[in-house]
Amino acid sequence: MRELIVVVGGGPVGSVLALALQQQNVAFTMLEARAKSASHQDTRALALSYGSRLILEKLGVWDAVQAKATAINTIHISQRGGLGRTKLKASEHNQPALGYVLPYGALTEALDNALELNNIRYAAEATEIKSGEVFAQVAFNQFGESKTLTSALMVVADGGKNLGEIAGIQRETKEYGHDALVSKVRAELPHNNIAYERFTPQGPMALLPNGQDKNSHDFSLVWTGLQANIHKVAGMDDFGFLSQLHEAFGDRVGKFLSVEKRLCFPLKLSTLKPSTAPHLAVIGNAAQTMHPVAGQGFNVGLRDACTLADIIINTPISAMGAAPMLERYSMQRQRDTRGGILFTDLLVNTFSNDLIGLQTIRGAGLGALELFKPAKSFLVNKMSFGK
Ligand SMILES: Cc1cc2nc3c(=O)[nH]c(=O)nc-3n(C[C@H](O)[C@H](O)[C@H](O)COP(=O)(O)OP(=O)(O)OC[C@H]3O[C@@H](n4cnc5c(N)ncnc54)[C@H](O)[C@@H]3O)c2cc1C
């Protein structure tokens, strides 16, 4: 039997799409490689924009995650060894918060719990996806058995990690030669719901408040830089690591007192060329992987899911997955996705180098941003809603 819609990958982006379809009684099947609760303990911090909170509210899952989310009320942006800094404040932009820090596992748990089990196949790992003129097909393994499903629309939301080449889908990748180190650290001073974005010649670093109480001293750290440098600090003992962090970050939260497990991953910009694969849509990290400097990647992915859900709901079954529908999706997402990519790439290129004179220009830019309210509003809107 042919399915109407198959979603491959039940991470946060695939699950948001699935939930939006479930709530509109649209038939679908989702394949997820992990077991149902396998990701619920993942403490990786996602930086959620205010716009993403509104999406989760509309889907009815915000209440389930709110108690685990830390509000970002202020974003403090500065550069190491140079003048100029700026602050973005929620209170100046009529928002209750500029964004939130949320553990990945808290979000996947809330989404898994909201999804009806009969639509989801857990422990089902896709091995091959083919797009065809009449339908798309996925081969997958579940409990030692090989199976296939065909559908009018196949949505790839696998994070872009595992699936090989799909005919008609071409990826463009730019390696930054940088790694990101992520961990949780405790500092001498409380976070006060402030997120710090610090640009250093070696690469940007972010310190995000991570603890619901503003007096909590816990932060999520994202420290990026040349691979060799990041590997070097990742391999230090805690004392060496914390003093290097203090030197790179400065004194704004006092000394760093402790650090949890450190994870490193390579940074790249990966995007898709215009697709010629019928009956196939690609969303979330599978469609675009960005540098984490501006916390855009996940939020852009959520907006992919919402736009696609809207289009599916408004497409007659006979036209599902056909070229006009896929073109409509691609047109509607183009501007937001390109904007997120350009914005992120520009930040990395402008702020991660030591070129003579650039430091002064950066300082002047940050100083001007501090004084120019429309530019701040533009930035807050871009980060919150992709506009
Ligand atoms: C360490 C780290 C820190 C990050 N920090 C931030 C941040 O602060 N802010 C931010 O906005 N973004 C951040 N990101 C990016 C963010 O994690 C992604 O944008 C987000 O997870 C994308 O969601 P997704 O659902 O598209 O993909 P994923 O979260 O990767 O989910 C993909 C899902 O597909 C499943 N899957 C994979 N292969 C298969 C298969 N073959 N068959 C079936 N299922 C499959 C996986 O099990 C998984 O559940 C970070 C990323 C990393 C790696």
Task: Look at residue 297 and tell me whether its pLDDT is greater than 70.
Answer: yes
For the segment 126-135, what is each residue's pLDDT rounded down to a tens digit? 999 999 899 9
Residue 13 Cβ inside 6 Å of ligand 1? The answer reads yes
pLDDT score of 219:
96
For the segment 54-110, what is each residue's pLDDT rounded down to a tens digit? 999 999 999 999 999 999 999 888 876 665 678 888 888 788 899 999 999 999 999
Residue 264 Cβ inside 6 Å of ligand 1? The answer reads no
Residue 105 Cβ inside 6 Å of ligand 1? The answer reads no
Strand partners, 77: 86, 197
For residue 16 the two structure tokens come to 């948001």
Which has the minimum average pLDDT: 186-190, 212-216, 293-297?
A: 293-297
For the segment 44-66, what is each residue's pLDDT rounded down to a tens digit? 889 899 999 999 999 999 999 99
DSSP-derived secondary structure letter, 238: H
Tally of CB atoms within 10 A around 148: 11
Looking only at Cα atoms, what is the longest distance across the chain?
Answer: 64
Alpha-carbon distance of 163 to 177, in angstroms, equals 23
Distance (Å) from CA 29 to ligand 1 centroid = 19
Measured by CA distance, the residue closest to atom 27 of ligand 1 is: 159
Distance (Å) from CA 237 to ligand 1 centroid = 29
Beta strands in 159-252 (DSSP E): 171-187, 194-200, 203-209, 218-226
Ligand 1 closest atom vs CA 206: 8
How many CA atoms within 13 Å lie on the side-chain side of 358?
Answer: 14
Residue 32 Cβ inside 6 Å of ligand 1? The answer reads yes
Residue 336 Cβ inside 6 Å of ligand 1? The answer reads no
Model confidence at 154, pLDDT cuts 50, 70, 90, reads very high
Which parts of the chain fold into alpha helices (H)? 12-23, 50-58, 62-66, 104-114, 227-234, 238-249, 297-313, 323-351, 358-371, 373-385
Distance (Å) from CA 46 to ligand 1 centroid = 10
Task: Look at residue 280 and tell me whether its pLDDT is greater than 70.
Answer: yes
- Higher-confidence residue of 203 and 210: namely 210
Q: Which of 278, 296, 54 is nearest to 197 (CA)?
A: 296
Beta carbons of 163 and 129 less than 8 angstroms apart: yes
Q: Which residue has the tokens 């820090």?
A: 101
Alpha-carbon distance of 46 to 229, in angstroms, equals 24
Model confidence at 342, pLDDT cuts 50, 70, 90, reads confident
Measured by CA distance, the residue closest to atom 2 of ligand 1 is: 44
Domains and CATH numbers, the chain: 3-63+105-172+270-348 (3.50.50.60), 72-98+175-267+354-385 (3.30.9.10)
Task: Look at residue 295 and tell me whether its pLDDT is greater than 80.
Answer: no
Interstrand relation of 29-31 and 85-89 (parallel, antiparallel or unpaired): unpaired
Distance (Å) from CA 30 to ligand 1 centroid = 16
Residue 158 Cβ inside 6 Å of ligand 1? The answer reads yes
Measured by CA distance, the residue closest to atom 11 of ligand 1 is: 298
Beta carbons of 207 and 253 less than 8 angstroms apart: yes
Q: What is the pTM for the complete model shown?
A: 0.90
Residue 3 Cβ inside 6 Å of ligand 1? The answer reads no
Model confidence at 382, pLDDT cuts 50, 70, 90, reads low
